[in-house]
Amino acid sequence: MQKPRKRKQPEFRQRPQPRAKPARPSISLGTNDPYPTHPRPTPEECRAVRDDLLAFHGFPQEFAKYRRQQPNSSFDQAHGFLKSDILDGDAKETVLDGLVKTVLSQNTTEVNSERAFESLKSAFPTWEDVLAAESKCIENSIRSGGLAPTKASCIKNILSCLLEKKGKLCLEYLRDLSVDEIKAELSQFKGIGPKTVFEIAKAISWVPAVADRNKTYLHLNKRIPNELKFDLNCLLYTHGKLCRRCAKKVDKQQTKESQDNPCPLLKYWKNS
């Protein structure tokens, strides 16, 4: 009797594992300088630019109250926010109010952004009302501030994420955090990111030509003396909106100052 043949067991070859892609190095806001060998700006340059812009523009009135409240505070340039700006504003202003005001202030004048905020609060008395509203209704209420669809989407996202993460529409807990902790918290919201004097910094060679916005912030945060950060940010922000040479876009409401007077930063452009 013939013995039954044993079936040959199939061989299972282990598939080669795909090679893991090397992780991209992450940049932590507020820690490392991406351009440690780039020697500019020096403290002397920072002070000279601050003094020249102050003499040319005067101190911007929209930031004056924060300067009076925190004359020696360090400016937190990440996200374009001052810790004193969002946290220590008007007595009746909440931290969330301050954040939304900052969103509405982008690419517009102070008058228009304040009008947009007042219109938003008039149409929707509480932030819960804003979150529940249709995006188009929010856009209509903030249209005077420009970029209404973008800003409405950003505001809705902030409120939605805040409710999901914290269970309520409140940012008062930020008052007890450090500057770095505040940055980390705000970075979680889509549309809230580093806002720097990027183009001007590149034009006067305070950062290498290949620098991007994030690395520009990191480098300047290391190089600019703390006591000058507040003034420089406010003055460069204002100058970028008013100066035709430094601004990419010209607002119809810009003052004749930018048309009739030379740019005080031209000498730094020539020396860059």
The answer to whether the CB of 100 falls within 8 A of the CB of 117 is: yes
Q: Is the dihedral of CA 268, 221, 223, 33 positive or negative?
A: negative
Marked catalytic residue, from 195, 202, 222, 229:
195
Angle CA 191–195–196, to nearest 5: 165
Asked if 195 is an active-site residue, the reply is: yes
Axis crossing angle, helix 61-69 with helix 226-242, rounded to the nearest 10? 170
Identity of the amino acid at 51? D
Tokens standing for residue 164: 């999901």
- State the CB neighbour count (10 A cutoff) for residue 191: 14
- State the CB neighbour count (10 A cutoff) for residue 206: 25
Q: Is the dihedral of CA 185, 190, 192, 196 positive or negative?
A: positive
Axis crossing angle, helix 110-123 with helix 95-104, rounded to the nearest 10? 130
List residues with catalytic annotation: 195
